[in-house]
Structure 1
Amino acid sequence: MAQDPTGAPRTADSSTRAVRPAAPTSATVVPLNPPTGETAPQRALHICLLGYRSAPFGGGQGIYLKYLSKALVDAGHRVDVISGQPYPHLDPRVRLIPMPGLNLFETGLGSLRFHHLSSLTNIIEWTSKLSGGFAEPYCFGRRVVKYLKRFGRHYDIIHDNQSLSYGMLELQRLGFPLVTTIHHPVTSDLRIALKAAKNWRERLFIKRWHYFLKMQKRVAGELHHVVTVSERSREDIAAAFDLQPAAIHLVHCGIDTEEFRPLPEVSKIPRRLMATVSADQPLKGVRYLFEALAELLPKYPDLELLLVGKPHAGGEADQLIDKLGLRGYIRTVSGISTEELVRYYNEAEVAVVPSVYEGFGLPAGEAMSCGTALVSTTGGALPEVVGDAALQVPVRDSQALGAAIDRLLSDGDLRCQLEQAGRRRIESLFCWHRSAAQMLDYYQTVIHPPHSTGDALENC
């Protein structure tokens, strides 16, 4: 049998087995680089973060897990991450507990093997994909409940990263101290995708794939402890899931300012634009960036766009590149290291975030933290993140996007001002040490609610 990181066997039903780790010590810890105003040191916690798919190249959820877990360890706490495939990239001090599933979006329907049929969860995942559905969050919840009921009673806090699965309600019912992050309501993704659909067949497929939203809406309404990453997301989540905004706790995302930083030894590449987007997701607005690029080329024939995120061959974004004659002006990279990403940010004269909607906007924060001048839309929470440290334009407006890029390319003094202002804003408002300290304070209110008696773990 395959072995999980603890050395225990993994069964054929894809549930991870593990030897129960030792309970956390009660030692007092002093956080590393504590933010100004942090409360007195508290007992070290043993924290379990959950993510149904968590690779950084898969989107902001994987980045969130990577850096939140690192910041929590920096603050002196023990952190395990239970994740489905594709697995996250974690700090070496963070323990990964892989929760294997079928990973059908990577391996395809043909990857099903006879031994998978011994698991009802596997069968649900496969048949859902076969019919155009997305059952990964639901199936991840089933697997996690099975694992934590057996091996998870020693955790001080369980923190789910937007699986919003029925399994989370089961953990809550069983008395596990549970916190859930909702980055933004996926109802926004559905609405934008439907608007971009070309025909009824596409709309039918999109609705089928988003059927998991029915589960998420019910689960969100019954969770006791919900946190989100921006004020805009708090408002949108409350509206989408029929919640009171005051019931949703706000802890902004952070940027690792030690990793995403200006590199004095790296020179800017003239006329280099950069965007970090999922090119085939309509809510990321890449078509408006391509249209803006096409409008700018007569004035800047040496313009180059570095696109971090490769369009699917033959997909809508790929076809648009050919339609606009941009093939020779766009360079795409994917699967790169964080070190390479930071260098690319530093090489770019201008970074662009063309999104129609962002629950937070990590690429905007990363570019600003690297000291790169930024053009951003006003989609979702982006104004909350960039403030006055970037040029902002309306969503779905390629002409306005092109005009803002043109302004920065032609005004070196303005670029320099925004480079410095962006770095200062991220350092002061959105560093991960600050975010982790706020999250730890929230954990304490969950573990020791007001008027409670005794340690919450003793009641589990």
Structure 2
Amino acid sequence: MTAEATWDAAPGPLAGEAADGDRPLRIALLTYKGNPFCGGQGVYVRHLSRELARLGHRVEVIGAQPYPVLDEEEGVTLTRLPSLDLYRQPDPFRTPGREEYRDWIDVLEVATMWTGGFPEPLTFSLRARRHLAARRGDFDIVHDNQTLGYGLLGLERLGFPLVTTIHHPITVDRKLELDAAQGWQRRMSVRRWYGFTRMQKRVARRLPTVLTVSGSSRREITEHLGVRPERVHVVPIGADTRLFSPDPAVPEVPGRIVTTSSADVPLKGLVHLVEALAKVRTEHPDAHLVVVGKRPESGPVAAAVERYGLGGCVEFVKGIGDRELVDLVRSAQVACVPSLYEGFSLPAAEAMATGTPLVATTGGAIPEVAGPDGETCLAVPPADAGALAAALGRLLGDAELRTRLGAAGRERVLRRFTWEQAARGTVEHYRTVLGDTAARRAPAPTLS
């Protein structure tokens, strides 16, 4: 077995009660890409697993590279299912040495990459199925974090009831990238890279139950993936409000705008924010942008920064710790979410939790998180640099409005979007699934 676990013995039955008064659960949480610096899925795994453990459950995260960052002091454990890590830095799309191949799944992973596809959802699901088949009886439930690979089908026959979270259909990303692609070669490349979405559609339709994070995502899942609406259940996620909180001791930096963008892709709308910054600086010369994410060496964002002469007022920061991130958001006069679409928008919730006033688009589920325009945020249409500039300029020039929106935003997050609430809602769904599974397995009554 290739997995590297953090314990030697298989988990046995748990004693005592969980926070909901019922017996604690043994949960396997699957994630094919779990590092929180790689995007929202890693943040989800880290915070949900921690809060599930705090509620009294045993949580084992089973993941591939880049491995999750977990709160192991809370009792969360990690089992590593190594892939060939073909996209690691500094040598992405690398060709492995012959000695690295272990089995046919490795060959499939490399062959898919060589032909322009993205293999990780499929190959991780196959490794996870093999791993779980060797551990029958160890878990009460398996929770998949948007892998949606063929290997997950049939887990219930192995004795593992399955819950899958779909944050939003990746078909949305595919459509936006195809819309932005220039030339037939680029469009062909995008189609091949997103070839795994056909698999995800087929798997999603066969799942007994799906969790998602917003009403917007629920609608997209039923429309794009063809999942029946009654099978899709919304459990909102949120912010770590103990970490993301106001702190008057952190000085506010005049003109600072902060945003999060894990990749230079059309979905994130960063290029429109860069264009907006150029407009804002005509009236607010101290305006500058700090992007939490990797600096692109080429592409639309890099071109826009150069075109508008913004090299000295757009800064990218990557790989910072939790405390540094929170203090960065606290130091900003404005936080911005310029995305064309979000299935939820963790950056919006986290910024609001710190009391930092927010400018956000109305793409996807962002309005569900950010709230009404003028009450908890300033809302603008997606892909509208002029509207972004007007809202940013308005906030930078109005300290009273910043204070009012910041306070209202934090109150909204505390009321609706915390990780403890997310964990409690998730456990409630687990217990419903377990009850339904037990009912299906119960022998039919005999006639006397």
Paired letter, 1:278: S
Determine if contact 1:350/1:373 at 8 Å carries over to the other structure. yes
Alpha-carbon distance in structure 2 between the residues aligned to 1:244 and 1:94? 33
Determine if contact 1:278/1:311 at 8 Å carries over to the other structure. no
Alpha-carbon distance in structure 2 between the residues aligned to 1:359 and 1:70? 22
Match of 1:11 in 2: none
Match of 2:430 in 1: 443
1:420 lines up with 2:404 in the alignment = no
Q: What are the Cα deviations for residues 286-309 of structure 1, in whole angstroms up to 9, with x where unaligned?
A: 011011001111111111111111
Match of 1:156 in 2: 140
Match of 1:214 in 2: 198
What secondary structure, in the 3-state scheme, does the structure 1 residue paired with 2:44 have?
helix
Alpha-carbon distance in structure 1 between the residues aligned to 2:300 and 2:137? 47
Match of 1:47 in 2: 27
What secondary structure, in the 3-state scheme, does the structure 2 residue paired with 1:449 have?
helix
Match of 2:235 among 236, 239, 251: 251
Match of 2:290 among 297, 306, 324: 306
Match of 2:419 in 1: 432
Q: 1:266 to 1:448 in 2, by over 3 A?
A: same
Alpha-carbon distance in structure 2 between the residues aligned to 1:128 and 1:380? 31
Match of 2:379 among 392, 412, 419: 392
Q: What are the Cα deviations for residues 233-263 of structure 1, in whole angstroms up to 9, with x where unaligned?
A: 0000000111222220110012111111112
Q: 1:279 to 1:159 in 2, by over 3 A?
A: closer
1:333 lines up with 2:333 in the alignment = no
1:91 lines up with 2:78 in the alignment = no
Alpha-carbon distance in structure 2 between the residues aligned to 1:406 and 1:303? 9
Alpha-carbon distance in structure 2 between the residues aligned to 1:352 and 1:45? 39
What secondary structure, in the 3-state scheme, does the structure 2 residue paired with 1:260 have?
coil
Match of 1:138 in 2: 122
Q: How many residues align?
A: 436
What secondary structure, in the 3-state scheme, does the structure 2 residue paired with 1:363 have?
helix
1:81 lines up with 2:61 in the alignment = yes
Alpha-carbon distance in structure 2 between the residues aligned to 1:152 and 1:144? 13
Determine if contact 2:272/2:384 at 8 Å carries over to the other structure. yes
Match of 1:68 in 2: 48
Gaps of at least 5 residues in structure 1 are 8-18, 32-39
Q: What are the Cα deviations for residues 61-100 of structure 1, in whole angstroms up to 9, with x where unaligned?
A: 0000000001101111111100110011100121010110
Paired letter, 2:5: P
Alpha-carbon distance in structure 1 between the residues aligned to 2:337 and 2:25? 37
What secondary structure, in the 3-state scheme, does the structure 2 residue paired with 1:328 have?
coil
Match of 1:234 among 211, 218, 227: 218
What secondary structure, in the 3-state scheme, does the structure 2 residue paired with 1:201 have?
helix
Alpha-carbon distance in structure 1 between the residues aligned to 2:319 and 2:368? 29
What secondary structure, in the 3-state scheme, does the structure 1 residue paired with 2:101 have?
helix
Determine if contact 1:193/1:283 at 8 Å carries over to the other structure. yes
1:401 lines up with 2:393 in the alignment = no
1:185 lines up with 2:181 in the alignment = no
CA RMSD of aligned residues (A): 1.8
Alpha-carbon distance in structure 1 between the residues aligned to 2:112 and 2:263? 25
Determine if contact 1:109/1:126 at 8 Å carries over to the other structure. no
Determine if contact 1:279/1:286 at 8 Å carries over to the other structure. no
Q: 1:2 to 1:135 in 2, by over 3 A?
A: closer
Q: Quote the offset at 1:52 in angstroms.
A: 0.3
Q: Quote the offset at 1:173 in angstroms.
A: 3.7
What secondary structure, in the 3-state scheme, does the structure 1 residue paired with 2:65 have?
coil
Match of 2:446 in 1: none
Q: 1:334 to 1:265 in 2, by over 3 A?
A: same
Paired letter, 1:376: A
Alpha-carbon distance in structure 2 between the residues aligned to 1:269 and 1:382? 26
Determine if contact 1:448/1:455 at 8 Å carries over to the other structure. no
What secondary structure, in the 3-state scheme, does the structure 2 residue paired with 1:448 have?
helix
Determine if contact 2:3/2:81 at 8 Å carries over to the other structure. no
Q: Quote the offset at 1:25 in angstroms.
A: 1.6
Alpha-carbon distance in structure 2 between the residues aligned to 1:152 and 1:89? 26
Q: What are the Cα deviations for residues 6-34 of structure 1, in whole angstroms up to 9, with x where unaligned?
A: 47xxxxxxxxxxx44231323213x3xxx
Match of 1:347 in 2: 331
Paired letter, 2:275: E
Match of 1:127 in 2: 111
Alpha-carbon distance in structure 1 between the residues aligned to 2:414 and 2:441? 38
Q: Quote the offset at 1:154 in angstroms.
A: 1.5
Q: Compare 414-423 and 303-312 and name the one that shifted more.
A: 303-312
Determine if contact 1:226/1:248 at 8 Å carries over to the other structure. yes
Match of 2:13 among 24, 27, 51: 24
Q: 1:87 to 1:195 in 2, by over 3 A?
A: same
Normalised by the size of structure 1, how large is the TM-score? 0.92
Identity fraction in percent: 43
Gaps of at least 5 residues in structure 2 are 444-448
Paired letter, 2:258: M
Normalised by the size of structure 2, how large is the TM-score? 0.94
Q: 1:81 to 1:278 in 2, by over 3 A?
A: same
Q: 1:152 to 1:364 in 2, by over 3 A?
A: farther
Q: What are the Cα deviations for residues 185-204 of structure 1, in whole angstroms up to 9, with x where unaligned?
A: 11100110011112111111
Determine if contact 2:161/2:437 at 8 Å carries over to the other structure. no
Q: Compare 433-442 and 146-155 and name the one that shifted more.
A: 146-155
